[in-house]
Chains A and B, each alone.
Chain A
Amino acid sequence: MDNATELAASEPRPHSFGWHRLLPWLIPVLLIGFWQVAVNAGWLNSNLLPSPWSVVQDGINLTKSGELPRNISISLFRATTGFAIGGSLGFVLGLANGLSRVMRGLFDTTIQMLRNIPHLSLIPLVIILLGIGETAKISLVSVGVMFPIYINTYHGITSVDPELLEMGKAYGLSRRALLTKIIFPGALPTILVGVRYALGVMWTTLIVAETISSNSGIGYMATNAQEFMNMDTVLLCIVIYALLGKLSDVIAKALESLCLEWQKKGRTQ
């Protein structure tokens, strides 16, 4: 059997329905089912922990009133803007410091010092300096996202196999070609690890920022509901966080499988 035939044989059959697709959802579904049964049976106080069904109903009502879509939109806007700004800064700094010794000498020590400050500890400072407007929340998300992307971009670039670089130079590749054909693709798996981690930091930062200082967004909705002891909405917000977190993970995985097709193919042999 030649290599091509072996590869074809090892690939999963298309359109096959397998239990493995449902397996990841088994535990969440069982937990929610048990929760519903526990509330219905009176084992849990529905004032403190409402049933999943009443959370769903609350979600429907808030969607109809427009409150939920408005708050999700504003949170998504803050998250994506902060991620774009912080991610770009982290990537550009990581790229510059990874490629240039001068830049590394100039910036790296400062960045390493700043990186060790927990970014959430900046909240009081940010509120005083920037108030509770959009700039404050987007800045916090940017700072939180910047460092994981910086560290992974820098590490990815400085870890590119020097023998591949030497080959590229010996084969007459220009500086630009070395960057686009060897350095960047070589660093990409590590950069994507940073992106995945940063997506998690993005939500955590935004939620904390919205909980402490905001008048809109999912975090604000949860804090507001807590003040009125509206447990349906509090739980709804938590479920939305979980779903947004899962969505981020799905996006990160899709990005990885799109950019790192070669790793997947290599593993199939």
Chain B
Amino acid sequence: MTSPLVTLTGIGKQYGETAALHDVSFDLQPGEFVALVGMSGGGKSTILRLIAQLEQPTAGTITYADPNLVTRVMFQNDRLLPWMTVLENISFASHDKVQQEKAKSALASVDLAEYADAYPSQLSGGQKQRLALARALMADPQLLLLDEPLGALDALTRRNMQQFITKICDESHLTTLLITHDVDEAARMADRVIVVKSGTNVYSAAGAKGKDAETVAKVADEVLKVILAPEGDGARA
């Protein structure tokens, strides 16, 4: 096994008196697609925010293989800039020709080339999330962090987006961490599924990416059992 891209060791996060996370330890291998799954309020998003350095842990350490690791986050809400066109949202209205050309090809890669001059408010929910994905991929990140980006989409668009993201991440061999509360989504998309419960990681198992529906359902069932088990029954990862 190669050395991990990111390693979390004994991570804790306190907000005043409240402990959001305690003793979180796992790593992300290069090119791996990991899903963090668990119930709302379990601390999944906090882990992502710590890895993205949007917040700092109050205990433990996060080690990055490369100190200049390029990380991009795709948020639950698209966070597009409504005053910029679709193309400008990707290039951040850069006047640099190279950036503009790169933005155009990023837009083409998410099938939005014809909407380059439209504004985000003119796009559908799925198109907005594809645009947000293209923006995240613009900087050729080594690590892509997906914070429940498909939560607000309808079932059909959500399924299409799952396939779309898996394809893009596979093609570019991109290390990806997906936060989700949907166990089927986690099982279907990930190489490895980690369950986060009551502020810590309690279970880790191989995902069913690229496998048949039966295997996906089996992995999802196992994960669901761990999530729904009473406190203290989960096997430590």
Give chain A's interface residues, CB within 8 Å of chain B.
3-4, 7, 163-164, 166-167, 169-173, 177, 181-182, 185-186, 188, 260, 262-263, 265-266, 268-269
B75 touches A182 (CB 8 A): no
Inter-chain contact B115/A3, CB cutoff 8 Å:
yes
Instruction: Give the chain A neighbours of B114 by CB distance below 8 A.
Output: 4
With contact pairs A170-B54, A170-B73, A269-B122 given, residues A164 and B79 touching in the complex (Cβ less than 8 Å): yes
| Contact present for B83 and A171 (CB under 8 Å) | no
Q: From the candidates A166, A181, A263, A268, name the one contacting B81 in the complex (CB within 8 A).
A: A181
When distances are taken between beta carbons in the complex, the residues of chain B under 8 Å from A263 are 82
Cα-based distance from A269 to B119 in the complex (angstroms): 10
Q: With A164-B79, A171-B72, A185-B81 known to touch, is A262 a contact of B139 (CB < 8 Å)?
A: no
The interface residues of chain A lying within 8 Å CB-to-CB of B122 are 3, 7, 265-266, 268-269
Interface contact A173-B118, CB-CB below 8 Å: no
Contact between A265 and B119, CB atoms less than 8 A apart: yes
Q: Are A262 and B92 in contact (CB under 8 A)?
A: no
The residue on A at minimum CB distance from B76 is A163
B139 touches A163 (CB 8 A): no
Question: In this assembly, does B77 line the interface, its C-beta being within 8 Å of a C-beta of chain A?
Answer: yes
Given A167-B79, A262-B119, A269-B122, are A172 and B139 also a contact pair (CB < 8 Å)? yes
Complex partner residue of A173 from B73, B92, B115, CB under 8 angstroms: B92
The B interface, classified by DSSP as helix, strand, loop or mixed, is: loop
Interface size on B, residues (CB 8 A): 23
Question: Dominant SS at the A interface?
Answer: helix
A-B pairs with beta carbons under 8 Å apart, 18 shown: A3-B118, A3-B122, A7-B122, A164-B79, A166-B79, A167-B73, A167-B75, A167-B79, A170-B52, A181-B81, A185-B81, A185-B84, A186-B83, A188-B83, A260-B83, A263-B82, A265-B122, A269-B121
B residues whose Cβ falls under 8 Å from a Cβ of A: 52, 54, 72-73, 75, 77, 79, 81-84, 92-93, 114-115, 118-119, 121-124, 135, 139
Chain B's closest residue to A180 (CB) is B93
Contact assessment for A3 and B123 in the assembled complex, using a CB-CB cutoff below 8 Å:
yes
**A170 vs B51: C-alpha distance in the bound complex, in angstroms?**
11
For B77, the chain A residues whose CB sits under 8 A away are: 163
B51 to chain A, nearest CB (A): 11
Complex partner residue of B83 from A163, A167, A262, A268, CB under 8 angstroms: A262
Residue numbers in A under 8 Å from B135 (CB-CB)? 171
A238–B137 CA distance with the chains assembled, in angstroms: 61
Within the complex, the shortest CB–CB distance from B112 to chain A, in Å, comes to 11
| Chain A residues, Cβ within 8 Å of B119 | 262, 265-266
Given contacts A4-B114, A170-B54, A185-B81, contact A262 B121 (CB under 8 A): yes
Contact between A163 and B92 (Cβ–Cβ < 8 Å)? no
In the complex, chain A residues whose CB is within 8 Å of the CB of B81: 164, 181-182, 185
Nearest chain A residue, comparing its CB with the CB of B78: A167
Kindly list chain B residues whose C-beta atoms are within 8 Å of the C-beta of A3. Answer: 115, 118, 122-124
Q: A170-B52, A186-B83 are in contact. List 11 more A-B contacts (CB 8 A).
A: A3-B115, A163-B77, A167-B73, A181-B84, A182-B81, A262-B82, A262-B119, A265-B118, A266-B121, A266-B122, A269-B122
B73 to chain A: which residues have CB within 8 Å? 167, 170
Cα distance A71–B157 in the bound complex, in angstroms: 65
Q: Could you say which residues of chain A place their CB within 8 Å of the CB of B54? A: 166, 169-170
A152: shortest Cβ distance to chain B, in Å?
A: 17
Chain A residue at minimum C-beta to C-beta distance from B124: A3
Taking CB atoms, residues of chain A closer than 8 Å to B52 are 170
User: Which residue, of A163, A172, A262, has the highest number of chain B Cβ atoms within 10 A?
Assistant: A262
Given A171-B92, A177-B92; A266-B82 close (CB under 8 Å)? yes
CA of A188 to CA of B92, assembled, Å: 18
